[in-house]
Structure formats: C-alpha cells, structure tokens
Amino acid sequence: MEMKNLEKAMDIYARLVTGEEISRSGANAGLYEDYYGNAEIYEILGVLLKKLNLHIYEYKESLFLSPGDGNRVFGYTNEEMKRAMGLRYNRELYLAYFIIYEILLSFYSDSASYQFKEYIRLENVVEEVTKSLSVFTKDIAIYDMDEEKEESFRTIALLWDELPASTSENQEDIKASRASKSSLVKLVFNFLVNENLFLEVSRRYYPTQRFSAIVENYFEEYRGEIYDALSRKKEENDS
C-alpha cells in the first residue's frame, strides 16, 4: 500500500464526512478522479467505510455518504431524532418516519420508476399521508388501544386522525409544530432541509442530489421493505 494513496483515501473520506461536495466537475474534481481512477484508493476507502458502517453513493457524477442501518456515530438514534425535530413521544417520531416515507414515495414508487416530478408541496404530503393511513382506522369503534404496540401503524394512524388539518387558513402562515397535520409535515420538511435533502423555494420542496442518491440506492439495496409491509397490510384490510 502506498502512503500517498492512503492519504488520498483519507482526504476523500474527510471531505465527504464534513459535507463537502466531490464531483467530476466541482472544486474537488481531482479527488473524484482519484477515487475512480486508482484501484487502491477505491479499495482503501471501501474498507474504511465498511468498518465505519457508511455507504458511498454516486449520483450524476457526484459522491455522497450515508450512514448504514444502526450507525450510532453518524446516524441518529430515536432519541436524537426526537430532539432534532422537537418531538416528545415515540408515536410522534414513528408518524414522522411515516411522513418521510410518503415524501419518498412521492418521487419513487419502486426501483423501476425513478424520479418523475420536480417538486412537492406540503399540502400534497398531507393528502397522501391521510390516504395511506386511512386504511388502518377502519372499524375504529372496536379498536382497543391497550392491546396494540405503540409503534404499530394503527397507533400512528389514530394520532394522525386526531390532528386538525391545519391551525392556519393561509399556507404561508403554517409554522412547524405538533399542533396539526400541516404543521407536523412542515416540521418534518424543516428537518429534511437541514439535512440537505430538500430545498424550499416559494413553499415548494425540491429534492437535492443527495436525496436522489440515497433514495435510489435504498431501493436497489432494500427493495422497499416498508412499502411491501404496507401493501400486505392494505391487502389484509381490503379482503
């Protein structure tokens, strides 16, 4: 192993982990070429990232890092996610996760049909979450909350159902909070914007290249496990 190749691999890692962009046409174009043009650098970085439970993805000739499942250093624990979003209870966090997944599905339904829209609005997400969760609130009169786990789809469906649609008649006045469906979606979008996954322009939310890189690779690696689980649940309720 050549020391200069080790240093190059560490340089690529250091820049990616601190949020710098490495692309073929950017300021760090030389590092992009080193990564793909030098087999030893490629291999060193691959071993390093595997040990750190990190994934490296390419999208439109740019490199991105994403923490692997259960990564305690570079990812978020549930408690850290609650603090980051200003949530108090696990059921609120699970609902936020579901909202994120519905946002994801607005752009990607499966690995065969990638991005098909340029942006999404807050009200679109509220509508889709309501539609998806409505299947779990059927026969609500015979439902016993004490017999269900907090993380169940039925629990987050009930929580969503209890929220008013909005606390403001004007979409521009919606504030991020836990007070309504719209404000909760706004809370989630604020987190995604802070994570450089979306850009907000005139109340429209545009996915970034980082979002696209992570999401497309998610479908390639995990084949939409949550989507499959939801589909099975819907089939059970419809039968």
What does 171-211 look like in DSSP terms, one character per residue?
GGG--SSSSSHHHHHHHHHHHHHHTTSEEEETTEEEE-HHH
Which residues are within 8 A (CB) of 143 and not within 5 positions of it... i.e. 6 or more apart? 154, 158
Instruction: Count the domains in the chain.
Output: 2
Residue 72 inside a domain? The answer is no
Which residues are within 8 A (CB) of 210 and not within 5 positions of it... i.e. 6 or more apart? 59, 64, 196, 197
Domain boundary among 67, 87, 103: 67
pLDDT at 215: 80
d(CA 173, CA 167): 9
Strand order in the sheet with 120-121: 120-121, 204-207, 198-201
Q: Do 182 and 85 belong to one domain?
A: yes
Domain boundary among 36, 67, 98: 67
d(CA 176, CA 166): 11
Which residues are within 8 A (CB) of 156 and not within 5 positions of it... i.e. 6 or more apart? 91, 94, 95, 98, 133
Q: What is the pLDDT of residues 19-58, one digit of tens each?
A: 888 999 988 999 999 999 999 999 999 999 999 999 898 8
Which residues are within 8 A (CB) of 104 and not within 5 positions of it... i.e. 6 or more apart? 215, 218
pLDDT at 219: 63
- In terms of residue numbers, what domain contains 219? 78-238
Q: Do 53 and 90 belong to one domain?
A: no
Q: Do 12 and 97 belong to one domain?
A: no
DSSP state of 65: E
Strands 62-67 and 120-121: unpaired
pLDDT at 213: 85
Q: Do 61 and 119 belong to one domain?
A: no
Residue 73 inside a domain? The answer is no
Q: Do 182 and 213 belong to one domain?
A: yes
Residue 192 inside a domain? The answer is yes
Q: Do 191 and 223 belong to one domain?
A: yes
Below-50 pLDDT ranges, the chain: 111, 140-151, 224, 230, 233-239
Q: Do 92 and 177 belong to one domain?
A: yes
d(CA 29, CA 33): 6
Q: Do 137 and 233 belong to one domain?
A: yes
Residue 37 inside a domain? The answer is yes
pLDDT at 233: 44
d(CA 155, CA 152): 5
φ, ψ for residue 108, nearest 5 deg? -140, 125
- Least Cα distance to 98 among 209, 181, 219 occurs for 181
